[in-house]
Amino acid sequence: MRTSLVVTALVLSFPSAALVRAQDEYAASLATFGDAAADHLALGWFEMQRRREPEARAALQRALLLDPDGPQARVFLGVIDARNGRYDEAIRQWRRVRAEHPAYPNIDRLIEEAEKRKKSG
């Protein structure tokens, strides 16, 4: 079991050329329909997972343009900001989500964690 976890971690950390190509093709397919906020949101999440911040931000901003009331793009933008130590920006995004969608799952936890990390420096 432990060996399989290590192998899985290595595969995800060092994707093969075929996997990278497949990921790139998937990302391109999501961008095919430029007027679908859900596709841009999925692309933003996908690029965020691949640690491609500029691509993720662009897709998430496009999702917001198409669906300004959708909370997930703002949550994901906040995650990107928090990952990069930009806690003020993350908190700002998440507070807006909380104000507009108070029932959004775990939004208070995200804000609290970012505030804690901001204070610890």
Q: What is the pLDDT of residue 2?
A: 47
pLDDT at 65 over 90: yes
Percent of the chain residues topping a pLDDT of 70: 86
pTM: 0.79
16-120 adopts what CATH topology? 1.25.40
Q: What is the pLDDT of residue 12?
A: 55
Burial of residue 104 (CB within 10 Å: 0-12, 13-18, 19+) is: middle
Closest CA to 73 of 51, 52, 96, 50: 96
Q: Over the stretch 4-37, which tens digit does the pLDDT of each residue have?
A: 555 445 455 666 777 778 777 877 777 776 688 9
What are residue 72's phi and psi, to 5 degrees?
-60, -40
